[in-house]
Structure 1
Amino acid sequence: MRRILLALVPAFWLGTLGAAYATVPDQTDWMTVLLGGRKVGHIQIERERQDGILTTTQMLALDLSRSGKPMHLGNMSRSVEGPAGEPLGFAARTHMSSMDSTVEARPDDSGRYQVTTTVGGQTRTVLMGWPGNALLAEGQRLATVAAGRQAGSSYRMHEFDPSSQQVIDVRVDILGDETVALPGGAMRLSHQRQTLSLAHGRQTLDLWVDDQGIARKGLMSLLGQPLEMLACDRACAMAPNQPVDMLRAATVDSPRWLPAYVRSVPMRYRVHVSGNIGQPFIVTDEQNVTPLGGDDWMIDVGVAHPGRQAPPQPADSKPNAWLQSDAPAIRRLATTAVRGARDDLQRMRRMRQFVSAYITGHGLDVGYASALEVLRSREGDCTEYAVLLAAMARAQGIPARVVSGMVYVDRFGGASRLFIPHEWVQAWVDGRWQSFDSALKHFDSTHLALASGDGDPWHFAATTQLFGNLQIRQAVADMDLSTPVGGAPAAPAGNSGSNGGRGG
């Protein structure tokens, strides 16, 4: 389980923060990053214009901790644009594990982009058409200037993040001019509220921008705490950090103790979701989601219902930058693990058991590692267990996805009865998606799924931001389902067990 702030912050802020005004000379700007009022990092923004081409390089560094273990995370994002903000190339470098992950994109003669990604020491190159009217840093700044500062007005834009290569639809509401206190003194800025449409809900952040469209302050909620970025000088930005323990911050209290015998039967939860983010949970072949009205949802977990999820897509079986299932070392490992298995269910169970034993070190200072990195290091936590198992499944021709969500634990970080961020694997076995958890060695009905994806850390990052908005108000075991939750009709009790009768 990792807090991938690096995938959140650059996508949401750095494009506007790093935008350069056409008449501003080459320069370097700085910002300090605060989480819950504690300084956790800094941003350095360099702008260079040559022959009308603007290169904006943004570097983010964060110092966090995990159960007292330091985590040093970093991200570089670079945008190359023409005089009118037209995209000409992009690059990114992310430090979340023992090996940096990099992205480099250059246009070819056909107008498409040759995107080279290196993760875990393995390099892949693909051709990408530019996604419509998506904007890089300067394009975003120009859109902000063009929209003006009239209170009550609004505009939309599509922001492109070089690190994740995701396009985010953004609605911007202009709230009016305000005097804002910054470390270097007060400034009169335009307060603008951005609402970002994400795959599993919405995220709201506030920006205060100057008359050149450059953000001088940003504020959003992350894991129930305010995350701030404030413009200041180099000495302020580089002042000593006060790392925040993100592992303890990323938890949700359980309304009751859930002993082992309860976790082994189907469960029903009532969850309250604040922040106007919509439906945060996904429907799976093992999890059903029912709206109760307002911001309340009913989640049923543990009874298998094939067909609630769509069958596998071609991408669910292919290798990618994080699940390198075509690497010879991954293939050999999978072949060793499944030796003697008669069918896909046996193969998945043997690979789950193999990965559970294979990872022997718990590297708490690693942000997120690819399957190849895990194979070499044999260390990590739930994210590393999941990416390795998913890659091995794909190497065996079994469609597999990495699921991001939460799971119940009795004790964690000095507290008790908690749900913590977690990742596990779904595999297409016997005509439905079944869950396998190598980190905990079993899948049970306290696994609540928020998203499923291809192992890219961006997906996990997009779910961890939800934890500060979730409150589990009721947890009812199968034997108690005669009492409806929140007035909803009780569902018949299933008898398939916590794994839908099959998973592991």
Structure 2
Amino acid sequence: MRKWLAALSMAFALSPSPALVARAVDAAPATDTTWMTVLLAGRKIGHLRIDRSRDDHAVTTTQDLQIELDRGSGITPMGVLTRSTETLDGQPLGFYARSSLSSSDSIVDGERQADGSYAVTSTVGGLPTRSTLSWPAGALLSDGQRRAMAVATRQTGHYTLDLFDPVTREVASVDLEVLGDESVQLPDGPEWLSHQREVVQTPRGVQRMELWINARGETRKGSLDMLGHELVMLACSQACALAPVQDIDLLRAAMVDSPQPLSAAMRQGFLRYLIHTGDDDTRPVIATDEQRVTPLGHGDWVVEIGDAAAGGQATPTLEDTQANAWLQADAPEVRALAAKAAGGATTAQATMPRLRDFVSRYIDRHDKDGGYASAVEITRTHEGDCKAYAVLLAALARAEGIPARVVTGMVYVDHYAGNARVFVPHAWVQAWVDGRWQSFDAALGRFDSAHIALDSGDGDPWHFANLSNLLGQLRIAEVAPAPGISPAMLRGAAVATRDW
């Protein structure tokens, strides 16, 4: 299963409070290009090109990240291009993002209106949706961030900042510590740079990134952990950045070893897992109606999985039934397919197994190297990996009025890609059936206690940005049969995990 590209598409820019921006001095030329090479575990996987141009009225910053991942059966190219337009003092005017996750690009285009709001057009699978965005107070785009970074290089200390991501259209609140100046060895020679540490509190824990910044606020080096390895971006020449990529076994890096074989009989009953992350700030799994989570401290967690019982997670919201850019439940082809698959069933209990079995047959070209496609794309191509099965099933469920979510997690397999007894990244669907959330796996045709849910959401691939780093930290120390999970136990688990 392909790792979420969002972990690679970070913009190496940050900003202290907006009050500091006015003090930044911009001595940049009219046009400036920075090239960076992208390395994972010391192996080259791609490049980043940053172009910044300015005229008498505005600054336009374009960042183009291109990576190629060797998945064992060939090279999978992926890319994210973002463009921001700002006033000369760093105030936002517009933004654009194009993500190459499947055969069709997903595009976000936001333009500032006369009243200060932004008209946003999102296009996924060739289908546009339009909305209005009120700009988050204090949030900065690329050049505002760069200008603020230049100020931050002048003295050590701590800063708090808000970064706007054009891809997700979300704001990340970031803590920044300026550690001081250091000599940093880059491919084209050493540079004297400001070392800054960026800490982002995400719903899944803390993400840290090390940055080395020059006096103009340009990032010359950045690093963070991904899949248990170091991901590094280094400024260098164009020839260095565009050098050929190198092979790296990312598939194995995303797997988690099982401490013992899990028989079919064990997987049909309740299972208790002891999961270790080594970091109390990182919550590895979510509580669901099928999954009870108990923190033990010191990065250890007990996870018990079995039949669904109401009370483990919140009841559905209106959003769980609505169409969105990826789960296009209101598209005519999706609605027609859902009606055909349901076959006249009138209850969620009767409909969901029919939808699951239909999707299992409908996707008849399994593409384990595929990108992340929308429901409409999948109806046309009939192909994809586990993500495609989950996205299409969730869209069909919503088209039939059944609340549904896409779950990302891990599933146990006896053998996979030459490895034995491993948990591999996987996706499936939760649907609201008989007053509780129940899981349906169209890719495997069944759900059992060897499915460990790490996150769930609305089908947007960027929702799961932190999972690539989580898979690198997670270790399953023990697995054993467990007693049945009662509704009272699940309610207790929901309370215990709400504070995280």
TM-score (norm 2): 0.92
- Say if 2:355 is the partner of 1:351: yes
Range that drifts further, 21-30 or 153-162: 21-30
Q: Is the 8 A contact 1:15 1:138 kept in 2?
A: no
* SS of structure 2 residue aligned to 1:180: strand
Paired residue for 2:143, among 138, 141, 145? 138
Q: Is the 8 A contact 1:4 1:367 kept in 2?
A: no
User: In the alignment, does 2:296 pair up with 1:292?
Assistant: yes
Cα RMSD for the two superposed structures: 1.8
1:356-395 residue pairs with structure 2 within 5 A? 356-395=360-399
Q: CA deviation at 1:243?
A: 3.5
1:263 aligns with 2:276: no
CA contact (8 A) 1:190 1:208 kept: yes
In the TM superposition, what are the counterparts of 1:64-79 in structure 2 within 5 Å?
Answer: 64-79=69-84
Q: 1:63 to 1:248 in 2, by over 3 A?
A: same
**Structure 1 equivalent of residue 65 of structure 2:** 60
Q: Distance in 1 between matches of 2:227 and 2:11?
A: 16
Retained in 2: the 8 A contact 1:15–1:136?
A: no
Secondary structure of residue in 1 paired with 2:304: strand
Contact 1:386 1:424 in 2 (8 A): yes
Distance 1:460 1:278, change over 3 A: closer
In structure 2, the residue matched to 1:493 is 484
2:222 — aligned with what?
Answer: 218
Structure 1 CA distance, aligned partners of 2:51 and 2:295? Answer: 47
Query: What is the aligned-residue identity percentage?
Result: 50
In structure 1, distance between residues paired with 2:165 and 2:348: 38
Measure, in 2, the Cα distance between the counterparts of 1:143 and 1:389: 45
**Aligned AA (1:143):** A
- Deviations 1:450-496, CA, capped at 9 Å, x for gaps: 11111001123322221011011011113xxxxxxxxxxxxx43599
2:72 partner amino acid: S
String of CA shifts for 1:93-136, please: whole Å, max 9, x gaps. 11111111111000122211111011011110100111222211
Deviations 1:349-380 (A, max 9, x none): 10000001110112233221111111111111
Query: Which residue of 2 is the match for residue 205 of structure 1?
Result: 209
Q: Is the partner of 2:243 in helix, strand or coil?
A: coil
Cα gap change, 1:15/1:57 in structure 2, threshold over 3 Å: closer, same or farther? Answer: farther
The aligned counterpart of 1:190 is: 194
Q: Which residue of 2 aligns with 1:4?
A: 4
Q: How does 1:304-343 map to 2 (within 5 A)?
A: 304-343=308-347
Aligned equivalent of 1:119? 124
**Code of the aligned partner of 2:51:** E
**Does the Cα contact within 8 Å between 2:186 and 2:236 map onto a contact in 1?**
yes
Mapped to 2, the partners of 1:434 and 1:328 lie a distance apart of: 27
- Tell me, in whole angstroms, the C-alpha distance in 1 between the residues paired with 2:12 and 2:281: 19
Are the equivalent residues in 2 in contact too, given 1:69–1:364 (CA < 8 A)? no
Listed as ranges, the matches of 1:417-436 within 5 Å are: 417-436=421-440
Residue 36 of structure 1 deviates from its aligned partner by 0.8
Matched, 1:47 2:38: no
User: What's the counterpart of residue 178 of structure 1?
Assistant: 182
Query: Is 1:99 the counterpart of 2:104 in the alignment?
Result: yes
Paired residue for 1:272? 276
Amino acid at match of 1:72: P
Q: Is the 8 A contact 2:150 2:215 kept in 1?
A: yes
Q: Name the counterpart of 2:172.
A: 168
- Partner amino acid for 1:400? A
| Partner secondary structure for residue 10 of structure 1 | coil
| Partner amino acid, structure 2, of 1:216 | R
**Letter of the 1:318 counterpart:** Q
Instruction: Return the TM-score normalized by structure 1.
Output: 0.92
Q: Distance in 2 between matches of 1:123 and 1:451?
A: 27
1:165 shift after superposition: 1.3
1:229 aligns with 2:233: yes
Secondary structure of the residue that 1:466 maps to in structure 2?
A: helix
Per the alignment, residue 84 of structure 1 pairs with: 89
- When structure 1 is superposed on structure 2, of 244-253 and 232-241 the one drifting more is 244-253
Task: Show CA shifts across 1:371-390 (max 9, x none).
Answer: 11111111111110000000
Q: Contact 1:421 / 1:464 at 8 angstroms: preserved in 2? A: no
Kept in 2: contact 1:177–1:189 (CA 8 A):
yes
Q: Which residue of 2 aligns with 1:439?
A: 443
* Contact persistence 2:119–2:132 (CA under 8 A): yes
Q: Which amino acid aligns with 1:212?
A: R
